[in-house]
Amino acid sequence: MSFVRFAPLLLLSAFTLALPGCGASADSGPSDAATDAREDGGLDRAVRFDDEGPVSLVYRESRAFGLVVLEHGAPLAGVRVDLGLEGDAQDSSLLETTLTTDAEGRAVGTLVAGTVSASFSLRAALATGETARLAVQTVAPHEVRVTLEPLYDGARNVPQFEVRLLRGGACPAVYPGPADPTAETVLTVDAAAPAFPLDRGLLFAGLRVLAVGLDAGRPLTWGCVDDVTVTTAGIDRLAVAMTDLPWPPPGRHEIEIALPLATLAVGVAHEAFAPFAPLLDGERDAGEFVIDGLIEELRAEGDTAAVEVLQTSRLADGLDAGVTLAVPDLGAAVAGVRDRAAEFLRVAAFAGEVDLGEMDGTGNGEAVERWRTIGDGTTTLPLAAEDEPAVEGVVRTTFASDHIALGPHDLPLSLGRVVALALSHAAGGVDPDWAARFAAWLEAELPCATVVAALTASADLVAVCDAACLLPLCETWRDGLTASSAEALADAELNYNTLQATSSCAFLDDGGRLLPTGRCDGAIEAHWRGFADVILSGTWSVVSDPLP
């Protein structure tokens, strides 16, 4: 960062001073109105101030004064003159207490006004006794004003500046953070009229002036100059080079992500119910679907006799209708889980946080993006259990004047995990173990004991496969449905286990002000590895206020 540095401004005006080298004759020399005669009454040597007085100084003002020593009206060189203050001088002082006249009999000293109103005399005395006195008064200055001139070429249009004044301080290399009112004088000025009154106690002192651009109280820019001396005339243009502060500021911030998952995730959810397709498509009712499944299971076991009897008995004994009566809502229940999961995925949004690191000298920094939950506005589901690694990725971040951008980075979030959470939620659970959740759900919706009770109405079937035979047969088939559904998700878990994302957000409106919401809103593009040709474009937002 570059800083504008001002040289000290010391007001050293002479009291109507005739400067050395200007020449002075006895006829046109300084007034002797303030000169004491020698004790013997002779006037052959005299010391006189250039100003007849009285003179007035404001607090802390430094004022040069001139005097001359004459002998018989001619300048006297090399004469020592002792200075002093008489009367109630309070904390006023002299920079020199002894002067020596030059070739023209002249000498110049400096009087420094104190910080208390007072009236006193400045005394100049020669070793031979000649003395001159000058009446002096110190008074409070009129209001001294300093006008800030921020030098800035970025996009941020801050409405206010916080000005921090520190006597004798040096500008820091990096932004120091919040002001310290116990050590600094802190003022706030409007950007439209950035002038401020200066406390008289800070006049003629080397000041560090640190300016912070504020929008809604949030620091967005900063700059600093040091060794600034303000005289009683004030400063009309105090130039301060301003630079952007990282925004959103370093720290942990909430993020919200909306991705259109329906294209991929809903497809995977439907694949999880592929074994139920005849039932869901209306090709078979519940009884037909169940008995078809049991026949296939008997074939798999090689029990051809039982297959033939079951095929015959389903027609002769009306077993299809009997089983339908036993599990009349099976089709609607399965469709309900599938459809609720699909709807959840269509409107789902992710939430988490981003840890923004400090910005380096190139305007870049490191961040950690962490996705914690997925929700539909009503229900929020954790993406990882407490004992599982977080869904997070490290990313290079660019801090610009009006936006931040997160470069390409990987997040260990599988498509299978996302779909499993939605399905589990639709089936009444909150964990991603879809196989266990679906097994418990299907056991309740398709109780094999109830199915077997309907089947044992056929004496012919019982003769070849009784209840003890049919119950494990039904349970094995039902377990196969669960395994098939879980296998569809396992494929999405294995092959599409990493989400690659790039995101950015803007935090200024068209006028260069922070968005009224205080947020940083933008976009994200992502794809699951394995679906590189399917780009998901959504929204990505950062809540600017850091989390505790």
Using alpha carbons only, how large is the chain's radius of gyration in Å? 46
Q: How would you label 130-161 residue by residue, b for 16+ Cβ within 10 Å and e otherwise?
A: bbbbbbbebeebeebebebebebebebbbebb
Question: What φ, ψ does residue 481 adopt, rounded to 5°?
Answer: -60, -45
Amino acid at 252: R
pTM above 0.75, yes or no: no
Q: How far apart are CA 383 and CA 406, in angstroms?
A: 21
pLDDT at 524: 97
| Length of the chain counted residue by residue | 548
SS3 for 127-151 is: CCCCEEEEEEEEECCCCEEEEEEEE
Q: What is the pLDDT along the chain (548 residues), one digit of tens a residue?
A: 333 333 333 333 333 333 333 333 333 333 343 444 443 444 589 999 999 989 999 887 889 999 999 999 999 999 999 999 999 999 999 999 999 999 999 999 999 998 889 999 999 999 999 999 999 999 887 788 999 999 999 999 999 999 999 998 899 999 999 999 999 999 999 999 999 999 878 888 899 999 999 999 999 999 999 999 998 878 989 999 999 999 999 999 999 999 998 888 999 999 999 999 999 999 999 999 999 999 999 999 999 999 999 999 999 999 999 999 999 999 999 999 999 999 999 999 999 999 999 988 888 999 999 999 999 999 999 999 888 888 999 999 999 999 999 999 999 999 999 999 999 999 998 778 899 999 999 999 999 999 999 999 999 999 999 999 999 999 999 999 999 999 988 888 888 889 999 999 999 999 999 998 889 999 999 998 877 778 999 999 999 888 76
Do 35-139 and 144-243 have matching folds?
A: yes
Q: How far apart are CA 245 and CA 344, in angstroms?
A: 40
Counting other chains too, the contacts that 71-75 makes at CB distance below 8 Å and 24 or more residues apart are: 71/44, 71/45, 71/46, 72/44, 73/25, 73/26, 73/29, 74/26, 74/105, 75/24, 75/101, 75/103, 75/104, 75/105, 75/106
Q: How far apart are CA 92 and CA 389, in angstroms?
A: 71
Fold of 144-243: Immunoglobulin-like (2.60.40)
Domain boundaries, the chain: 35-139, 144-243, 246-548
Write out the H or E segment, with its range, that includes residue 36. Answer: strand 35-36
Give the CA angle between residues 296, 300, 301 to the nearest 5°.
120
Task: Report DSSP letters for 353-379, one per residue.
Answer: EEEE----TTSEEEEEEEEEEEE-SS-
DSSP lists the bridge partners of residue 394 as 368
| CATH class name, domain 35-139 | mainly beta
pLDDT at 43: 57
